Structure 1
Amino acid sequence: MDYNIRGENIEVTPALREYVEKKIGKLERYFNNTSNATVYVNLKVYNDKTSKVEVTVPMSNLVLRAEERNADMYAAIDTITDKLERQIRKHKTKVNRKFRTTGSTADLFDFTPEEGTPQDAVETEENDLEVVRNKRFDLKPMDSEEAILQMNLLGHNFFVYTNAETEVTNVVYKRKDGRYGLIEPN
């Protein structure tokens, strides 16, 4: 595996680079061919002394991605390795169930680029996109502050409403940093 380790507001020391390569290198046991693999690691340090680690592993059939915030950079790297390992195991289990009757799953964690998507993979993706629940409701005209209050009362991560001023459908959502976002159509 090749490692592309980048630091923002932090110098990537040889010890830190070695630790990242050692921890993420443990994931190689899940892959067939790692000679073409590139792991993108972004290490950030913020003014409040918190650290953020982002890891992206692009593959031919899947992109593994995880991020973790922690006061200790090394603890964040440990946690992100666990997250990636859970993602891999979850995906392998899901794939093994689907391909139990069709044959080998050996090429699913391959890093070689593909020319096209096989028909079986397209059918699998279509099955994964099945709608399991359908809800209908009237959109009440309101402003974004009222929509945020409604969202919090319901305990949801997003809320769809009609903007009272523009009479256009908008969406408010809760961001990972605890603040709120607003999606408006053009």
Structure 2
Amino acid sequence: MLKINVRGENIEVTGAIREYVEKKLYKLEKYFTDTSSSTAHVNLKVYTDKNAKVEVTIPLPYLVLRAEETSPDMYASIDLVTDKLERQIRKHKTKLNRKSREKGYKSFDFVAEEIAPVEEKKDDKIEIVRTKSVALKPMDSEEAVLQMEMLGHNFFIYEDAETQGINIVYRRRDGRYGLIEASDED
């Protein structure tokens, strides 16, 4: 059985909310042969504008399912996020099982008869339609954010002036900024 870890920010996670989250996420178990070693991480947030955001991350072998939804009602957000996760499962099931067969791996623990395959495009190859080259200039993260804003982009790649490492700043959905620091370590 899938373990579920529910956490709340600016909201007390009541028994009713916890039960509703568990009921909805347990329905996703029908798509997998074994979820006993997986833990679903659920983060519930309520903002000052009374919107409720639900984030769910389910790390599985070979795949991490993640979805988030925001709406004025917590229960509606939970419904929306589980629907989104179900669509992801349907989408990835066909692709992952096909790729595993091509490479000689075992199947990805999906229950085959439970999922109607998603129609795939005939040309399933990933196509890169544009290539850009960038000159990485040494700067700090604040300058990188300013550069990103001036360019009107959602992310910006730069060389950190202090560490000489390659970093990426990006705009998060909540309007704040994130930083990704690349390293040679796994």
In the superposition, the TM-score normalised over structure 2's length comes to: 0.65
Unaligned residue ranges in structure 1 (runs of 5+) = 111-129
Equivalent residue letter for 1:69: T
Q: Specify the alignment match of 2:91 in structure 1.
A: 90
| Range with greater deviation from structure 2 (170-179 or 41-50) | 170-179
Q: Offset of 1:65 from its aligned partner? A: 1.9
Q: Specify the alignment match of 1:122 in structure 2.
A: none
> Does the 8 A contact of 1:174 with 1:180 survive in 2?
yes
Equivalent residue letter for 2:91: K
Q: Specify the alignment match of 1:147 in structure 2.
A: 147
Aligned counterparts of 1:80 and 1:36: Cα–Cα separation in 2: 22
Aligned counterparts of 1:37 and 1:138: Cα–Cα separation in 2: 42
Q: Specify the alignment match of 1:176 in structure 2.
A: 173
Q: Specify the alignment match of 2:123 in structure 1.
A: none
Cα deviations by residue, 1:116-153 (Å, 9 ceiling, x for unpaired): xxxxxxxxxxxxxx99464224568995576244422x
Unaligned residue ranges in structure 2 (runs of 5+) = 112-125
Equivalent residue letter for 2:89: I
Q: Specify the alignment match of 1:11 in structure 2.
A: 12
What SS class does the counterpart of residue 62 from structure 2 fall into?
A: coil
What SS class does the counterpart of residue 87 from structure 1 fall into?
A: helix
Aligned counterparts of 1:103 and 1:182: Cα–Cα separation in 2: 35
Q: CA, structure 1 residues 138+73, in 2 after alignment: closer, same or farther (shift >3 Å)?
A: same
Q: Offset of 1:7 from its aligned partner? A: 2.2
Aligned counterparts of 1:13 and 1:52: Cα–Cα separation in 2: 16
Residue-pair matches, total: 160
Q: Offset of 1:23 from its aligned partner? A: 1.3
Q: CA, structure 1 residues 137+43, in 2 after alignment: closer, same or farther (shift >3 Å)?
A: closer
> Does the 8 A contact of 2:34 with 2:109 survive in 1?
no
| Range with greater deviation from structure 2 (32-41 or 172-181) | 172-181
Alignment of 1:122-133 (within 5 A): 132=128
Alignment of 1:35-184 (within 5 A): 35-101=36-102, 102=104, 104-105=106-107, 107-109=108-110, 132=128, 134-138=131-135, 147-152=147-152, 156-160=153-157, 172-180=169-177
Aligned counterparts of 1:23 and 1:3: Cα–Cα separation in 2: 11
Aligned counterparts of 1:61 and 1:184: Cα–Cα separation in 2: 23
Q: CA, structure 1 residues 183+17, in 2 after alignment: closer, same or farther (shift >3 Å)?
A: closer
C-alpha RMSD of the superposition: 3.6
Aligned counterparts of 2:145 and 2:61: Cα–Cα separation in 1: 43
Percent identical: 59
Aligned counterparts of 1:170 and 1:7: Cα–Cα separation in 2: 31
Give the number of the structure whose alpha-carbon radius of gyration is greater. 1
